[in-house]
Structure 1
Amino acid sequence: MKHEDIKRIFEGYFEKYKKTEGDRTAWSAVWLETTKEGVLELNMTKCPKGTTFKIFVNKKKEAQISGWNAFFETMPEIATKYPGLYDEQRIFSEMEFVI
């Protein structure tokens, strides 16, 4: 899947499902993907500092990264470390379906 499509889909999902982080200066949306290989959590947070992603695998934080470029650099590493867990075609097709 193209990076532009992933960004468009995740941003659309964020806008539809975001929740405030308390003081209304930070907003987050979480996508939870459960497979037989484990549980992947993609957390997108936007605040005055910018966009941050927190990546959890089986409730353990694997990465906290800033910006889309870092997201696209990190996710292949997650896919390699946890085979079968991060399938961007499946995840973002499902995410697009719910928006």
Structure 2
Amino acid sequence: MHDDAILHYHTGPDLVLAGGAVLTAPTTAYRSMGRLNADGTNAVLVLHGYTTGPTMLDRDANVAEGSWSELVGPGKPIDTERYFVVCPNMLGSCYGSTG
């Protein structure tokens, strides 16, 4: 894992779904790298596919899981010394979010 690719969890308010069902206090796992600047203008959102999770930023993960490790990090195309990168897990996924 990148030194600063930390796994976080966020629990939000109840979420009313289109069919009327309610997810009570859904939790979303996410990894972040870099630092958000004071005005919040340096954020980059990276979304994973259906077969991976937020560990796609990890350089020591398997191929699918580490698929973005060559693109995100210090001195890389998405430079975490300049940008704050957030990679959330999808709700319903088995990688740490409500589901």
Q: Given the two structures, how large is their TM-score scaled by the length of structure 1?
A: 0.34
Computing the radius of gyration from Cα coordinates, the structure with the larger value is: 2
The structure carrying a bigger helix percent of its residues is 1
